Copies of this chain bind each other. A is one copy, B any other.
């Protein structure tokens, strides 16, 4: 058998943080937050109520921070990046509002989902309003290239959500098919958020491609770790609510791996709980037991590490700088959440 020898690598792992990025973009982010509050306003009172319920619920706002940092790293000195960053966060918020309706979710970020308080119709329409405001802010900035990248992302995200519908409750989903879903659903917005930084800074083709690659691979790693965390991550004592994906019948990578590595009896179990949705007491525990015995969670984290490594190399061609270090550290931060 193999030996696991924790060396100094462990120390590095414990220390990766999002703080350096937060510090670098703090002033710009303050303006993004003000813009978000102002652009969520409307004379139709229900709109700011619904929007602010989610906006004020304490997301990390990682995506707009990528835009801000990427623009600054590429030497941008103007203030169009603030509007683009707010657009990115609105696109994300709109997606969450719509997702909760599609998934019939009750909770979001530890609070009742907007649809539980204001209904499905309001959630769909306020999402559309935010998407509209996002596009208006982009148009305001006036960069056709940035508009192209962000509007393409909006389309791709919607395609990804539709793809997810067709993948849901289908245990024959392959890893590649699942990857295609999260590439569209999650990675496309990370990618666009990062790429509009060099675009507005007037960066060259190479700089745009580098940030596109960074964003895409960071987004893939981020989503895979999210999937692992939904089953408790690689540590047994996480203390986080687990099993949301399981209860919603979502096929994520840990399940794809455990299903393919399991016995026929185990596959019967997965089909019953995820395809038919017949979940009984103890099934989540059994699922987690199977995931662990087939190393499905650890290997999901391992796959995330691969994408993290690609993201890291993507930024390699830029000179060393605080912004670059902070963006690289965010990769490790995202991956270490699983421990």
Q: Which residues of A contact B (CB under 8 A)?
A: 1-3, 5, 7-9, 172-177, 204-206, 209-210, 212-213, 216-217, 256-257, 259-261, 267, 299, 302-303, 306, 309-310, 313-314, 316-317
A314 CB to closest chain B CB, in angstroms?
Answer: 6
Given A2-B7, A7-B2, A316-B260, CB of A213 within 8 Å of CB of B303: no
Taken together as a complex, chains A and B put the C-alpha atoms of A256 and B299 apart, in Å, by 26
Taking the closest CB of chain B, its distance from the CB of A67, in whole angstroms, is 19
Q: Taking CB as reference atom, which chain B residue is nearest A210?
A: B174
When the two chains form their complex, are residues B5 and A5 in contact, meaning their CB atoms are under 8 A apart? yes
Q: How far is the CB of A322 from chain B (nearest CB, A)?
A: 19
CB contact between A3 and one of B7, B303, B310 (< 8 Å): that residue:
B7
Query: In the complex this chain forms, how many copies of it are found?
Result: 2
Cα A210 to Cα B205 with chains together (Å): 36
Assembly CA distance A313 to B5 (angstroms): 27
Residues on B with C-beta less than 8 A from A260 are 313-314, 316-317
Cross-chain contact B261 with A172 (CB below 8 angstroms): no
How far does the alpha carbon of A295 sit from the alpha carbon of B2 in the complex, in Å? Answer: 23
Q: Which residue of B lies closest to A179 (CB)?
A: B310
Check A176/B313 contact, CB under 8 A, given A2-B7, A5-B5. Answer: no
A303, chain B: closest CB distance, angstroms: 7
| B213-A174 in contact (CB<8A) | yes
CA distance A333 to B321 in the complex (A): 42
Choice from B174, B306, B309 contacting A209 with Cβ under 8 Å = B174
> Can you name 6 A-B residue pairings with CB atoms under 8 Å?
A2-B5, A2-B9, A174-B210, A176-B212, A257-B316, A261-B313
Chain B residues within an 8 Å CB radius of A314: 174-176, 260
- Nearest B residue to A204, CB-CB: B172
Provide the bound-state CA to CA distance between A258 and B267, in Å: 44
Q: CB < 8 Å: which of B177, B256, B299 contacts A309? A: B299
A297 shortest CB reach to chain B, Å: 14
Other-chain residue from B206, B217, B257 in contact with A172 (beta carbon distance below 8 A):
B206
